[in-house]
Amino acid sequence: MNSPTLSPVPSMEDLKVKLQESSLVFPYKETPKKSIFLSNIDQILNYDIPTAHFFKANPDFPPEILKLNRESGRLEMDCNGAGAGFVVAKSDVSLEEIGENLVYPNLGYRQLAVQRLDNLPPEVDQPLCVFQITSFKCGGFAIGMSTNHILFDGLGAKLVYPTMTVRILAARSPPHVSFPHPEFLKLDLPVGPGSSPPVFECSVEKLDFKIFKLTTTQISQIKDNISKSSKIDKISTFAVVAALIWWCKAFSDDMEYNKDRVSTLLNVIDIRPRVNPQLPSSYSANAVLPLGVSETCEEIKNGPFSKLVEIIIEGAKEMTHEYVKSAFDWLEMNRGIPHGDYMVSSWLRLGFDEVEYAWGKPMYSCPVVNHRKDICWVFRDAVDGGVCAMVALPSQEMEKFEAVFHDFFASILVH
């Protein structure tokens, strides 16, 4: 099997971006003042997800044309009329200067998605959604979006505007919990009037960022190897990559090896097709739930890799309609947050690169590097169609993760 490819997040940290204007976009006429119901999964996703989308120069749509149209502003993101953020910026570099690194999440991309409007007075709340238009000197431009995850998930983000049908995922009355739900950690917090939802966040610390890449050939070779020792009908690419990430993370923590220690991977699952009736295609709020799969370190280390893939595939089948309803009911009765060693979130089917704008499809769309060391983002390699995993970990953990990643390709052939 060919050696895997490993790449640090490209080190072009300064795209020489200058912010030219930042403002709030308000509805062009007064909107009804009302509260929008947020489901129980929305309650724990209160953190920002920045993304960047790059476009070639288009003479019919120069970046300047995307400046705020104050006559018809249609970014109605909040029903209290507080508005959405809009930022205009300019970079002194060209897309050509970024070169081949363009198609990989870059540390410099953090300059393309402002998460806060610093010019707002302290009494004004920060918007839940900020759009940033950055023009490059070549005429190309990037649209950066920093949206609070409370608004929508990845599939919903393609629709931009959240629907008002979030009550579809409301808890039952009375709640009926029919599963134990170990994927959530129950917190000793009050529930009911006067209480507050828990914060699912991690501390900001110095992290190393690296991209772990697998080509289509390598993935096919792993699948062929698995099929020799497993009766899995359909081996998904995501299951293979998630199992490999799980394998690496289980032995990268800053603790001594304990064969009896249980490692838990959280798989983020789209529940749209799993509930009955299925959610409408226009549903753009959060429709994902974490599902935990666990195994002892001894089994992960010494057992066949195919077993981890099977656990992930079979585990996903547990996300039935009744499991979904039970999860929302559990979150209605308890204050809890996702609980596991590592979470894997897939961009493989989001299709941001297929969205047709008036000025064309994006050259590239990607998550922006951020401080979350507890989540790994998996997405397509724009060069060869393989798969990339963006990992952020403290330095010592990253060294172990990388070592296990390379050791895997020797050990997988043994099993």
**What positions carry a catalytic annotation?**
149, 356
Structure tokens at 192: 């009911």
Which of 349, 157, 169 shows the shortest CA–CA distance to 275?
Answer: 169
Chain centre to alpha carbon of residue 180: 26
Q: What DSSP assignment string belongs to 347-410?
A: -TTT-GGG--BTTB--SEEEEPP-S-TTEEEEEE-TTTS-EEEEEEE-HHHHHHHHHHHHHHHH
Q: How far apart are CA 330 and CA 324, in angstroms?
A: 10
Backbone angles phi, psi at 298, to 5 degrees: -65, -45
CA atoms within 13 A on the CB side of 151: 24
215: buried, middle or exposed (CB in 10 Å: 19+, 13-18, 0-12)?
middle
Residue 220 near residue 1 (C-beta atoms within 8 A) = no
SS3 label, residue 260? coil
